A and B are shown apart, each in its own frame.
Chain A
Amino acid sequence: MTTLTAQTTQVYSVFIRATPEQVWEAITKPEFTQQYFYGVRIELRGGRRLSAMGDAEWDEEVFEAEPPRRLVHQWISAYDPELAAEEPSRITWEIEPQDGGVTKLTVVHDRLEGAPKTAEQVAGGWMYVLSGLKTLLETGRPLGG
């Protein structure tokens, strides 16, 4: 295995058999996010993106919210003290309808220059989250549940 420098812009994309509205709901409503986002309850309120996991709560700034097509917000790795001390990065969710009732969801995680440890660790997390989100929307059940 070679050691690689983690990328400061990372792109993840998945095709989901669902409408853009369903995808938007699944990424902005806590009853959905807790089923695929490591149990974190996430919601948008008052220009912030609020997260709650167990007793821990944190919130991030929302830069753009255009339901059901585009959401841009700050990212703080609050689930880990070492990562949380790094500079905030940025997440862009792009939701694009395709032919045949399919929606393309793209997540861009960038501005990671000041968060090298986060950059190294999030790849596996995003793959897990997007795979779980696809399974939830297509089958109504969480991944591996």
Chain B
Amino acid sequence: MGDDQVFKALADPTRRHLLDRLFERDGRTLTELESELEMTRFGVMKHLRALEDAGLVVTRREGREKLHFLNPVPIRLIHDRWIDKYTEHRVAALADLKHELEETA
């Protein structure tokens, strides 16, 4: 799966919101995800399909239910493309500083 699909999938606020919901709690059904969005079931399905095509969401059947899981690996691959193990420490230090300052502000 290409990076293009990942960036395209992430470029939409509704799709980022769906990923946020899954990040909070993984393994959710379409019905659960739909109940938190002002959108038709069909609309949510379309967005989930785009996320699945980009590899950002993986679905699994458990009994009668189809569960949606956040797959962070494509985002990690983008990370690894531009951040190597030597620069990672500096990047992490700056990210930590930002969180620290913004939380105490």
Q: Which residues does chain B contribute within 8 Å of A10, judged by CB atoms?
A: 26, 69
By beta carbon, the residue of chain A nearest B76 is A127
B61 interface residue (CB < 8 Å to A): no
Flag if A108 contacts B72 (CB, 8 Å): no
* Cβ-defined contact, B76 with A7, below 8 A: no
Which among A4, A13, A106, A134 has the greatest number of chain B C-beta atoms within 10 A? Answer: A13
Chief secondary structure at chain B's binding surface: mixed
Contact A131 B73 (CB under 8 A): yes
- Residue A53, interface by CB 8 Å: no
Chain B residue at smallest Cβ distance from A132: B80
11 intermolecular pairs with C-beta atoms under 8 Å apart = A9-B27, A14-B73, A15-B1, A106-B58, A126-B73, A128-B76, A130-B76, A131-B77, A135-B80, A143-B80, A144-B80
By a beta-carbon cutoff of 8 Å, the part of chain B in contact with chain A is 1, 23-27, 55, 58, 60, 69, 71-74, 76-77, 80, 84-85, 99, 103
Q: Give the 8 A-B CB pairs with smallest separation, nearest first.
A: A11-B69, A127-B76, A7-B26, A144-B85, A13-B58, A13-B71, A11-B58, A14-B73
A residues with a Cβ closer than 8 A to B are: 1-2, 4-5, 7, 9-15, 106, 108, 123, 126-128, 130-131, 134-135, 143-144
